[in-house]
């Protein structure tokens, strides 16, 4: 693979995101095999990586989609995804986003609050339809993950509290323009130990039984996503998706419920690398630095979550030393790794592994840096699936405003 990466960097430049279609297929096959025999719909979480070519590939494999914005729905539609297999999550759905989703007849809204429920009902009345809804319940289960990506505790902004759930469902059942179809949860991301997810399922099923006793019978259970990947081969264990699937199947046995899952990172994370060129090696009085052309605007996770990504030297094996691997962005928080044992010199090509999820999708133009190109490896062929941004691209919309600003001074 090192030769492939070297060739790609020479052809497309760096920084460069590279994805492997074979790895994407292996990841989705893992889910299909684990949940075979279940009425399971795999809805890929678009926020992990929304590149149209990746969405198109998952749609062709039979996946639905989990979206959190109108923009992500537009991406699903542009990629040929099926809106009838698309669920809409997120705490702040705007009126325009809800109308857009209703017009395209999505499978379900995952409703996160009573005000949102009332808004959806009112907008469905305006458009003369009934909105399919599922209530996202916060089961107050500790996912034992980074606090920024924990979403199932009482203090998190997501979902409806378990204590309020029955009243919320009763209100939903009263509304004339919603169809109450399911129950949803998502307790957090990057879970390696999947037992909290099983615990959340148990709590939701107990609630589902209480609702059935009140005449509110649901059709599906959405257990969200959150299954993690191995970022550090020396420390991380592989999550056991097969064991999780077996536990869920036992809990759902005989209930006749459709199961919805929303994996994101576990489908794309380890299918991608970020290639970056070493610009300088800077020897400091107290610390050494390997300065690369990739930065926090290309991969935010280390700065945002103090996340670990394995980094290897594609060019050569060199004598290792301890250094921070940093980018050119004018922030002390701009690092890809800290206190890492690395062998590198100026001009070397490095591969930052596990960059298929939450890298390109969280990229920005901070410091007026153009966003990197994206390439998909399909067997022996490399396809450019997103062109490298240019400075002209970045400035284009602002240039259109300059005459208006000038006019204000006369």
From residue 131, alpha-carbon distances to 90, 103, 117 in Å are 16, 10, 10
Helix (H) or strand (E) holding 135: strand 131-138
> What secondary structure letter does DSSP report for 147?
G
Closest among 141, 137, 265 to 196, alpha carbons compared: 141
Q: Is residue 330 flagged as an active site residue?
A: yes
- The catalytic position among 43, 201, 330, 401 is 330
Q: Is-contact 357 350, C-beta < 8 A?
A: no
301 is in an annotated binding site: yes
Euclidean distance between CA atoms 335 and 343, whole angstroms: 17
Burial of 267 (0-12, 13-18, 19+ CB in 10 A): buried
Neighbours of 349 (CB within 10 A): 23
C-alpha triplet 366, 391, 361: angle, nearest 5°: 45
Q: Is-contact 111 90, C-beta < 8 A?
A: no
Q: Is 178 left (phi over 0), alpha (psi -120 to 50) or beta?
A: beta
305 is in an annotated binding site: yes
Pairing of the two strands 288-292 and 373-378: unpaired
71 is in an annotated binding site: no
226 is in an annotated binding site: yes
358 is in an annotated binding site: yes
169 is in an annotated binding site: no
C-alpha triplet 17, 18, 21: angle, nearest 5°: 140
380 is in an annotated binding site: no
From residue 74, alpha-carbon distances to 42, 55, 65, 184, 283 in Å are 19, 11, 12, 23, 48
Contacts of residue 212, Cβ cutoff 8 Å, sequence gap at least 6: 218
Q: Which residues are annotated as a binding site for substrate?
A: 265, 301, 305, 331, 358
Active site residues per annotation: 330
Q: Which residues are annotated as a binding site for pyridoxal 5'-phosphate?
A: 226, 262-265, 358
Q: Which residues are annotated as a binding site?
A: 226, 262-265, 301, 305, 331, 358
């Amino acid at each position: 693979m090192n030769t492939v990466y070297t060739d790609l960097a020479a052809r497309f430049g760096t920084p460069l995101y590279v994805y492997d279609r074979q790895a994407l297929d292996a990841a989705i096959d893992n889910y299909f095999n684990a949940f075979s025999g279940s009425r399971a719909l795999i809805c890929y979480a678009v926020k992990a990586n929304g590149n149209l070519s990746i969405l198109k590939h998952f749609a062709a494999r039979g996946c639905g989609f989990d979206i959190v914005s109108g923009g992500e729905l537009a991406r699903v539609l542009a990629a040929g995804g099926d809106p009838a297999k698309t669920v809409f999550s997120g705490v702040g759905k705007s009126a325009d986003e809800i109308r857009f989703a209703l017009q395209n007849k999505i499978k379900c809204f995952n409703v996160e609050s009573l005000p949102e429920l009332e808004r959806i009902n009112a907008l469905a009345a305006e458009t003369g339809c009934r909105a399919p809804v599922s209530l996202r319940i916060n089961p107050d289960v500790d996912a034992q993950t980074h606090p920024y990506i924990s979403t199932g505790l009482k203090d998190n902004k997501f979902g409806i509290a378990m204590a309020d759930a029955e009243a919320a469902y009763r209100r939903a059942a009263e509304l004339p323009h919603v169809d109450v179809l399911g129950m949803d949860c998502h307790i957090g991301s990057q879970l390696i130990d999947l037992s909290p997810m099983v615990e959340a399922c148990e709590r939701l099923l107990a609630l589902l039984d209480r609702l059935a006793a009140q005449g509110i019978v649901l059709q599906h259970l959405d257990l969200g996503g959150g299954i993690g990947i191995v970022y550090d081969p020396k420390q991380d264990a592989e999550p056991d998706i097969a064991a999780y699937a077996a536990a869920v199947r036992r809990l759902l046995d005989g209930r006749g419920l459709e199961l919805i899952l929303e994996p994101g990172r576990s489908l794309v994370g380890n299918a991608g690398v970020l290639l970056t060129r070493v610009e300088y090696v800077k020897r400091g009085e107290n610390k050494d630095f390997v300065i690369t052309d990739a930065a926090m605007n290309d991969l935010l996770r280390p700065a945002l979550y103090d996340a670990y990504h394995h980094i290897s030297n594609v060019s050569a094996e060199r004598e290792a030393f301890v250094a921070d691997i940093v980018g050119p962005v004018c922030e002390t928080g701009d690092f890809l790794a800290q206190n890492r044992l690395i062998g590198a010199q100026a001009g070397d090509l490095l591969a930052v592994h596990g960059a298929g999820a939450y890298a390109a999708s969280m990229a920005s133009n901070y410091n007026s840096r153009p966003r990197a190109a994206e390439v998909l490896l399909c067997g022996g062929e490399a396809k450019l699936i997103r062109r490298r941004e240019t400075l002209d691209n970045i400035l284009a919309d602002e240039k259109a405003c300059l005459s208006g600003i000038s006019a204000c001074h006369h």
